[in-house]
A and B are shown apart, each in its own frame.
Chain A
Amino acid sequence: MTAQPTSEIVYRHTRIVRIAHWINALCFLLLLLSGLQIFNAHPMLYWGQAGANFDTPWLSIPGGFPDLLTLPNHRDLAAGRNWHFFFAWLLVINGALYIAFSLINRHFARDILPERSELKPRHLWEQIVHHAQFKRITGPAAKRYNTLQKLAYVAVIFVLFPLIIFTGLTMSPGFNAIAPIFLDIFGGRQSARSLHFIAANLLVAFLVIHLVEVVVAGAWNEIRSMITGRFTVPPAPAASEHTS
């Protein structure tokens, strides 16, 4: 038995996944910053169809977010909207292509959707404990997405991004005339604006966890795998090799 097993390199991410990932990352960052610019034009959120200064907001941030966090970094709603809608289109087109390719090449079925056995409470609990200890996953298990990772991706791809896109569209008076049913689904234009803001916050929460996990799993290896596709499988510790 060799003391130092040679590290195994696997082809982890297809070209489509890599390109879609980085376009999505760029769009999300610019949409977030320009979104805060738009929010700052009326930094209050309401529930229902209507809502303005005389109504009671459920969230009010006097003065809005700091200019440093907005795009552009001074008050310019018109420019913020230009940025937001351009990159919203890019995000939607990129997302649609990603979903189409992932259905065709079975990326979703193979890599993203959890298997039935993974959803057993006992397995999920083990995963949660493992994650809470910030342990790096090693050996063959590192070649695949783990269950919590899969669930997070499912939530982002199939819940949060569709939610943020359709709540965004529901703020559009033109889209309201085309598809008024979304006003009923989300409970009105101001509710849609609130849900859009909440979905953005949840996506930021995902991003924070995502970046922490990248560091836990090995930042350079992870980032490189999303650029070149190649991933070095972290060797399992010698002790665990005996037990398995």
Chain B
Amino acid sequence: MKDFLTRRKLLTGGTITLGGLALTGCDALSASPGFRNFLGTGEGLTMAAQRALMFGQPLAREFSERDISPVFKANGTKNPNTPAYNALATGNFNAWRLQIDGLVERPLSLSLADLRALPSRTQITRHDCVEGWSAIGKWQGAQLGPLLQSVGLKPKARFAVMHCADNYGGGADMYYESIDLIDGFHPQTILAYNLNGQPLDIAHGAPLRLRVERQLGYKHAKYLMRIEMVERLDTFGRGQGGYWEDRGYEWYAGI
């Protein structure tokens, strides 16, 4: 019995010590960029697997009016509050323009009225924050795909980079995001100007935000100013394809 207790103590002590060492090691590994890249192979696998299973561009689930969340949580920047943005907001975004340029044949500049005059899509979808919460809202906007077709993509265009009017937390870096052409041409990928039947308010991204329904919330860039078609993403921000991607989050945010 004495022997048994000693063994147990040894085992418990050993397990705790080993566990502690392992966790300290894990934290050191977490801080190492090389190891983070190694862990990042999981993202590549997830993207390859999900894209392989997305036969025929399946849609994200659409809900009914009664599923709409009573309060749609606003997250990230809730007001860009820069002089340029405030001037646009004061003028009811009449002076606001969306530029579509980069690797396109016919660059375009659209007012909010131009966008509202285009055929629109309305979808009641679930917004999933990377933090874990979800909210359901009714979005209305112009599909991105036909717009990209109308400007004529050059053969080298692979990504759409969304340039935004906000700098999250008042920092030096402006918010930006990027999606590839698979999501760019997905029917539910829209430039939304209405939420729940009302013009988008400032907290939710006025005057225009991206909806890319098969990915997490941070991909749904708010306060859109410019869509630039590009071949590569490494020349923007810190080179990872988006504001949060530059801070360690996955570029493929389908999970």
List chain A positions with a Cβ less than 8 A from chain B: 30, 33, 38-39, 41-42, 44, 49-55, 71-74, 76-79, 81-83, 85-89, 169, 171-180, 183, 189-190, 193, 215, 219-220
Nearest-Cβ distance from residue B71 to partner chain A, whole angstroms: 4
Residue on B nearest A136 in the bound complex, by CB: B4
Nearest-Cβ distance from residue B15 to partner chain A, whole angstroms: 8
Contacts A49-B126, A86-B41: A173 and B135 contacting too (C-beta < 8 A)? no
Alpha-carbon gap, A72 to B35, bound state (A)? 13
Residue on A nearest B255 in the bound complex, by CB: A172
Alpha-carbon gap, A177 to B189, bound state (A)? 13
Nearest-Cβ distance from residue A237 to partner chain B, whole angstroms: 15
Interface string of B218-255 (1 = CB under 8 A from A): 00000000000000000000000000100111100011
| Interchain residue pairs with CB less than 8 A apart (29) | A30-B26, A39-B132, A49-B67, A49-B126, A50-B67, A50-B134, A51-B134, A52-B69, A53-B133, A55-B69, A71-B23, A72-B26, A76-B248, A78-B249, A79-B30, A82-B42, A86-B41, A89-B42, A89-B46, A171-B128, A174-B215, A174-B255, A178-B50, A178-B53, A179-B53, A180-B58, A180-B61, A190-B134, A219-B7
Partner of B42, one of A71, A76, A86: A86
- A177 to B58, Cβ gap below 8 A? yes
- A81 to B58, Cβ gap below 8 A? no
List chain B positions with a Cβ less than 8 A from chain A: 7-8, 11, 23, 26-27, 30-31, 36, 38-43, 45-46, 50, 53-54, 58-61, 63, 67, 69-71, 73, 126, 128-136, 213-216, 244, 247-250, 254-255
Partner of A78, one of B42, B67, B248: B248
- B73 to A42, Cβ gap below 8 A? no
- A85 to B30, Cβ gap below 8 A? no
Nearest-Cβ distance from residue A102 to partner chain B, whole angstroms: 24
Nearest-Cβ distance from residue A38 to partner chain B, whole angstroms: 7
- B131 to A42, Cβ gap below 8 A? yes
Contacts A71-B30, A189-B126: A52 and B73 contacting too (C-beta < 8 A)? yes
- B250 to A72, Cβ gap below 8 A? no
B11, B126, B131, B133 pick with most chain A CB within 10 angstroms = B133
- B69 to A50, Cβ gap below 8 A? yes
- B126 to A50, Cβ gap below 8 A? yes
- A189 to B248, Cβ gap below 8 A? no
Extra pairs beyond A49-B126, A52-B129, A86-B42 (14, CB < 8 Å): A42-B129, A42-B132, A50-B69, A51-B134, A52-B73, A76-B248, A78-B248, A85-B42, A173-B215, A173-B254, A174-B255, A177-B54, A177-B59, A190-B133
Alpha-carbon gap, A177 to B70, bound state (A)? 24
Nearest-Cβ distance from residue B110 to partner chain A, whole angstroms: 28
Alpha-carbon gap, A44 to B73, bound state (A)? 15
Partner of B73, one of A33, A54, A175: A54
Q: Which residues in A have their C-beta under 8 angstroms from that of B11?
A: 215, 219
- B58 to A178, Cβ gap below 8 A? yes
Nearest-Cβ distance from residue B238 to partner chain A, whole angstroms: 13
- A173 to B213, Cβ gap below 8 A? yes
- A41 to B130, Cβ gap below 8 A? yes
Contacts A71-B26, A173-B60, A177-B58: A193 and B249 contacting too (C-beta < 8 A)? no
